[in-house]
Amino acid sequence: MTGMDRVRTIDAEAGVVVCDAGVSLHRLMEVLLPLGWFVPVTPGTRYVTVGGAIGADIHGKNHHVSGSFARHVLAMDLLTADGTVRTVTPGTPLFDATAGGMGLTGVILSATVQLQPVETSLMSVDTERATDLDDLMARLTATDHRYRYSVAWIDLLARGTSMGRSVLTRGDHAPLDALPARARARRAPLAFRPGQLPAPPSFVPEGLLGKTSVGLFNELWYRRAPRSRTGELQKISTFFHPLDGVPHWNRVYGRSGFVQYQFVVGYGKEEALRRVVRRISERGCPSFLAVLKRFGEGDPGWLSFPMPGWTLALDIPANLPGLGVFLDELDEEVAAADGRVYLAKDSRLRPEMLAAMYPRLADFRALRADLDPRGVFRSDLSRRLAL
Amino acid sequence: MKDAFGTPQSLLVLGGTSEIGLATARRLVARRTRTVWLAGRPSPALEEAASGLRDMGADVRTVAFDALDPEAHEESLGKIFAEGDIDMVLLAFGILGDQARDEDDPLAAVRVAQTNYTGAVSAGLVCARALQSQGHGSLVVLSSVAGERARRSNFIYGSSKAGLDAFSQGLGDALYGTGVHVMVVRPGFVRSKMTAGLEEAPMATTPEAVAEAIETGLRRRSETVWVPERCGWSCRRCGTRPRQVFRRLPL
């Protein structure tokens, strides 16, 4: 789909872009930032397409304020299994099935997206440390509403009294007058210059990311962070997409790669979150990219992931012994707390778990049976979960 | 569809009463596998194997299959694939024969070759085509260390497994890039009813250990799996010995 990469029209007054579905968020930022606009929602990487963003109904650090990506889509063109192109608008069943529908309702060809105005391409960031999971949840609950963007990096290897210690980074787009009077950035406040580091070599030995190395990394990461710092100016790429600066970063996991796991449990189910964090920490899962975030209101997509509550995302080396069984047990905890796992990151969920996690699943299946009776659109995910 | 750890949701065992086949099925059913097809000659043992797996919660069906009747393979195996995707085919049938007797009874020796080799060629090709048209899946072939280098004491069986091994490697290369994965498993001496009464060879293993190695091999998408792993090193060493020395070894 990345062949369909044309940005068709930009309404620089209203902040609306019409583009092909294969355009990446990176490309949109390159084009839109100089005009004073930013994508409404960005995940932890810019290298996703607009079509993918709708199909997975992605969320970002601003979910508690802005909701998911599809909430900002005004219309899209969808090629369905019967060969027709339909213009789909919010509030219709087809839109709600497609938003988060993992590409199974058809091929998204183009989309009209409402943008977010910005004065500069810098972020004003507040950083603080939380000493354990309870401290973290208390800080997020108390002050999250003051920030447009909020996320906490969490050390899942820390045990005992420091279990769940974290670094919170929260902020907003820096207004023009927040830039120092003689700063270089004043001359081109909207310039978009993401830096890039060299890629890891193509062969990395297995087991580089073990408990020791990740534990050391986490320790340094935690101690390096200031106890409390406000108003630091950071580039968009530093704040949102730190991993995009390292091409092929996934290579550090070696040949067997890694699996991602992300779940959400509702407010009031903090005990389930604590239990899961404790289990991960006691087991010693070497995860150095775990983040915790508070979600806002749920989104209309039938298979959209977000719901009001706490979401934890982690990456784990796939060759960890017994990982499959361990993640199955976490699924049970999450499902028992009426939570769900994120389909966009899933590669191992059991199909039996799905209906409990996604109550609109039956509607989705019915719509698909109607729209695509021959099963033209299929994926490994749809085969595994019978979507 | 297999998950991120290579565990299948549906499994077809060719040779439904094979101890290694059933040990693997039990292991996979305990993890993820929900649908199991046991293909074999209709017998009480086959039904018993099916009900054992059913007790573990799997949806098990048996289907009549005879390695010595390749004309029927297309039809009997085709029916299975028509019912839905098969994530993994385990080619587990084979007979050991009796080397000493078979040397004097060429027809019995041919039966070993027909079961282990030509039967597997036919079933393997039928399954490979079906897997390729569904676009995913693993074909796991039970070869043997006996096929690595023919030994005086069991070269009839060994030669049939050598043929099967070479066939499967070539098939794996032919299917590379199609989404279908072919894995050749070479167990050493396995304690089972097939080897009952035989003198145990060094590094003897069990059907459960082979099942575990298969699960690990699926996760790693291995192309060759030795059971136990160190068997591979000693076999490779054996393989380089000069003929004059090798034939004198008590193997």
pLDDT in tens, B117-167: 999 999 999 999 999 999 999 999 999 999 988 888 899 999 999 999 999
- Residue B1, in any domain of the structure: no
Domains and CATH numbers, chain A: 7-117 (3.30.465.10), 122-352 (3.40.462)
Task: Give the model's pLDDT for residue A255.
Answer: 85
Domain hosting residue B119, numbered range: 10-246
CB contact under 8 A, A325 and B3: no
CA distance A15 to A116: 7
- Residue B16: which pLDDT band, with cuts at 50, 70 and 90? very high
Closest alpha carbon to B159 in B93, B110, B223: B110
Task: Give the model's pLDDT for residue B150.
Answer: 84
User: For residue A171, what are the β-bridge partners?
Assistant: A125, A149
- Residue B3, in any domain of the structure: no
Q: Give the relative orientation of helices B44-55 and B19-31 as an angle to the nearest 10 degrees.
A: 20
CB nearest A384 (choices: B3, B31, B220): B3
Least Cα separation, residue B1 to chain A (angstroms): 5
CB contact under 8 A, B7 and A324: yes
CB contact under 8 A, B3 and A348: yes
- Residue B189, in any domain of the structure: yes
Chain B residues contacting A via beta carbons under 8 Å: 1-5, 7, 9, 31-32, 85, 136, 219-220
Joined together, the tokens standing for residue B222 give 């291995």
Least Cα separation, residue B221 to chain A (angstroms): 9
Joined together, the tokens standing for residue A256 give 């067997």
Residues from chain B that touch A375, judged by Cβ atoms under 8 A, are none
Cβ atoms of residues B235 and B145 within 8 Å: yes
- Residue B106, in any domain of the structure: yes
In the set B81, B93, B157, B167, the catalytic residue is B157
CA distance A257 to A244: 18
3-state secondary structure of A17: strand
Q: Where are the beta strands (DSSP E) in chain A?
A: 7-11, 16-20, 37-38, 73-79, 85-88, 107-114, 116-117, 122-130, 149-154, 166-173, 228-235, 258-266, 291-295, 309-317, 340-341
CA distance A92 to A90: 6
- Residue B2, in any domain of the structure: no
CB contact under 8 A, B1 and A259: no
CB nearest B3 (choices: A256, A319, A347): A347
Which residue in A102, A348, A353 has the most chain B C-beta atoms within 10 A of its own C-beta, making it the best mutation to test that interface? A348
- Residue B5, in any domain of the structure: no
Closest alpha carbon to A67 in A268, A260, A305, A235: A305
CB contact under 8 A, B1 and A383: yes
Residues from chain A that touch B86, judged by Cβ atoms under 8 A, are none
Q: Give the relative orientation of helices A270-283 and A133-143 as an angle to the nearest 10 degrees.
A: 140
User: For residue B187, what are the β-bridge partners?
Assistant: B227
Domain count, chain B: 1
- Residue B251: which pLDDT band, with cuts at 50, 70 and 90? low
**What interface predicted TM-score (ipTM) does this complex get?**
0.87
Closest alpha carbon to B16 in B54, B69, B55, B61: B61
CA distances for A214 relative to A158, A218, A246, A316, A345, angstroms: 11, 6, 17, 11, 21
Which CATH number is B102's domain given? 3.40.50.720
Active site residue B157: yes
* Alpha-carbon radius of gyration of chain A: 21
Closest alpha carbon to B3 in A114, A350, A75, A133: A350
CB contact under 8 A, B1 and A380: yes
CA distance A70 to B18: 52
- Residue B15, in any domain of the structure: yes
Dihedral of the alpha carbons of A76, A81, A84, A90, in degrees to the nearest 10: -30
Mean pLDDT of B100-107: 94
CA distance B34 to B28: 9
CB contact under 8 A, A324 and B1: no
CA distance A135 to A141: 10
Closest alpha carbon to B28 in B4, B70, B56: B56
- The tens digit of pLDDT for each residue in B207-247 reads 999 999 999 999 999 999 999 988 778 777 777 778 888 78
Identify the closest residue of chain A to B30 by CA–CA distance: A325
DSSP A98: H
**Interface A-B: count of C-beta contacts within 8 A:** 34
Which residue in A104, A384, A385, A387 has the most chain B C-beta atoms within 10 A of its own C-beta, making it the best mutation to test that interface? A384
- Residue B141, in any domain of the structure: yes
CB contact under 8 A, A324 and B220: no
Average pLDDT over chain B, rounded to an integer: 94
Cβ burial A257-273 (10 Å sphere, 16+ → b, else e): ebbbbbbbbbeebbebb
CB nearest A384 (choices: B1, B31, B219): B1
Kindly give the confidence (pLDDT) of every residue in chain A, 387 residues in length, as a single tens digit, with 9 standing for 90 and above. Answer: 889 999 999 999 999 999 999 999 999 999 999 999 999 999 999 999 999 999 999 999 999 999 999 999 999 999 999 999 999 999 999 999 999 999 999 999 999 999 999 999 999 999 999 999 999 999 999 999 999 999 999 999 999 899 999 999 999 999 999 888 877 778 888 999 888 788 888 888 877 788 888 888 888 889 889 999 999 999 999 999 988 988 888 888 888 899 999 999 999 999 999 999 999 999 998 888 799 999 999 999 999 999 999 999 999 999 888 999 999 999 999 999 999 999 999 999 999 999 999 999 999 999 999 999 999 999 999 999 999
